[in-house]
Amino acid sequence: MQPVVEKLSGLERRVDLSVSVADIEKEVQAQLKRVARTAKVHGFRPGKAPLSVIERSHGPSVRYDVINTQIGKSLDKVIADANLRVAGTPNLEPKVEGAEDGVMAFSATFEVYPEVELPDLATLKVTRSSAQVGDAEVQKTLDILRRQRTIFKPAADRAAQDGDRVVLDFAGTIDGVAFEGGTAQDFPFVLGQGRMLPEFEAATQGLKAGESKTFPLEFPADYGSETVAGKKAEFTITVKEVAEPELPEIDADFAKSLGQAEGNVEALLADVRGNVEREAQARAKNRTKLSVMDALAGACTFDLPKALVDNEVASRTAAAREELKQRGVPNADTLPIPEDTFRPEAERRVRLGLLVGELIKSADLKAKPEQVRARIEEFAKSYEQPAQVVAYYLSDRQRRAEIESLVLEDNVVDHVLAAAQVTDEAVDFDTLMGTR
């Protein structure tokens, strides 16, 4: 009799399965005989141990594997016959009550993928972003590159101000007692970059080389070091050097410092403009994609497989722990991270994944080889040896698959834009680049 798949709630299903004990034992004995041909057992030559000895040493593991295999085959047949798509790993539990003699009975509980009904794309409202890159935007980028290569020149009579590099000694105490990390000599930092606490920077402002100051400083309650967090300290600083910033000229030396081997300033400017345009276009494209995905996610409601959401939560939690490790946070592996932190975003990603997958299938939006190559060539333009980058991506299956996924997303976005209600917006360059 064909097992009946029972609907529990939402996407959860259950089916009762059974396998013949006689069939299991027959397969167990067959496998033990195969093992016995080569098994190395203490006191016997290889392949000469009695079957009874092999039963004692290998029987439990062989029997476990046979039972799992038989149950797995039965479950696979039920799933295939019912034309179900299982999400996650089924949960198997043995059944004792009501089991017939000579059979092993199990209950399998699992989730299935939902039926995804795509929205009417013509009803979606999306925003298509664009950005213009002119001389002013290129100059802003050049100014950033110049600031990154700032030269600091000591100025004996200069009072420290924002942008200056200050070298100083400092000593801090709490209730008159020095604390770990509260003392340093020849400590450099640039005023105005926010590297030091505001009170520390404010006290340094206006001092010249050779001058000292004593001031109070209250550490924030959420300060990184628990030993001083929320406590009031007293610091004494002595400025040893004030150096004013000097930006490099846009000349041959500057061009060489940015990888332009010949020092060709015109070529450098062309490279910078090309890079800025590509970056601006990529960011505008991402804003458009986000608008499309938000519209899709907001237009559909359907049950989500808990297993897929849990997997996504686990993945994002692991990524968060890895990031904490990279930042040097102690106990990153055991630090409590509530799963609710990532669950809303995990649900959104799973919902979008199912929607996008259905849209790709229904509209045949697969990534074409020429699209993949074009995307790789565009990406490679920002490297010194584009041809080598293209060859690497085309020859590496994993890297090529990453690009194919991006192309699929592009195809989905273009497909939605062609049908949806689209509003075009020109995004301010600074807003687009996140500089304000």
CATH number at residue 397: 1.10.3120.10
Strand, coil or helix: 20: strand
Residue 168 within any structural domain of the chain: yes
Indicate if 287 and 425 belong to the same structural domain: yes
Q: String of b and e for 169-195 (b: at least 16 CB within 10 Å)?
A: ebebebeeeeeeebeeeeeebbbeeee
Structure tokens at 264: 């060709």
Indicate if 333 and 393 belong to the same structural domain: yes
Q: Where a domain ends, among 246, 271, 288?
A: 246
Parallel, antiparallel, or unpaired: how do β-strands 151-154 and 232-246 relate?
antiparallel
Indicate if 16 and 98 belong to the same structural domain: yes
- Provide the domain count of the chain: 3
Indicate if 212 and 295 belong to the same structural domain: no
Q: What share of the chain is helix, strand, coil (3-state, %, to 5)?
A: 45, 20, 30
Burial class (CB in 10 A: 0-12, 13-18, 19+), 359: buried
Residue 110 pLDDT: 94
**Contact criterion met (CB below 8 Å) for 407 and 372:** yes
Indicate if 125 and 100 belong to the same structural domain: no
CATH of the domain at 98: 3.30.70.1050
Name the maximum alpha-carbon separation found in the chain: 99
Structural domain span for residue 309: 121-130+280-433
Q: Where a domain ends, among 112, 142, 172?
A: 112
Indicate if 315 and 389 belong to the same structural domain: yes
Give the whole-angstrom CA distance, residue 150 versus residue 144: 10
Residue 99 pLDDT: 64
Residue 435 pLDDT: 67
CATH of the domain at 159: 3.10.50.40
What is the mean pLDDT, run by run of 10 residues, along the chain of 436 residues?
82 90 89 85 80 85 89 90 91 77 87 93 96 91 91 93 96 94 95 93 96 96 87 96 94 89 90 91 94 93 93 91 84 82 92 94 93 91 87 91 93 96 93 78
Q: Where a domain ends, among 202, 229, 246?
A: 246
Structure tokens at 404: 């194919």
pTM of the model as a whole: 0.73
Cα torsion 19, 20, 25, 31: sign: negative
